Chain A
Amino acid sequence: MIRRVIPVVLLLLLFPLVSIAQVDPGVRGGAAGAGQPLASVAANNPAGILNFFIAGQDAFEEIETVPEGLGPRFNSRGCGPCHAQPAIGGSAPAVNPQVGDATASGATNTIPSFITSTGPVREARFPFFFDAFGNPNPNSPNGGVETLYTIAGRVDAGTCTSAQISQPSFALAVATNNVIFRIPTPTFGLGLVENIDDATLLANAAANANNNFGVTGRFNRNGNDGTITRFGWKAQNKSLQIFSGEAYNVEMGVSNPLFQQERPLPGEDRASGLPAACRLNPTPEDGPDFAGSGAGVLDDVAAFANFMRFLAPPTPSTTTPGGSTSINNGKALFNAIGCNTCHTPTLKSSPSSFTPSLSNANANLFSDMEIHHMGTGLRDNVGQGDAGGDEFRTAPLWGLGQRIFFLHDGRTKNLITAIQAHNSSGSEANTSSFQFFNALTTSQKQDVLNFLRSL
Chain B
Amino acid sequence: MAQPNLNKMRTAIGGLLGAALLAVSLAAPAAAQDSGQVYQPTIWIDPDGCEHWVMDDGAEGFMTPNLQRNGDPVCHRAEICGVMPTDQLFATDRYEIDANGRATLENFFRSANAFGFMIYGHTDARASDEYNMTLSQNRANAVAAVAQGIGARVVDIRGFGERRPRADNTTVEGLQQNRRVEVYCLR
Say whether A and B bind each other: no
Question: Which residues of B line the A interface, CB within 8 A?
Answer: none
Question: Which residues of A line the B interface, CB within 8 A?
Answer: none
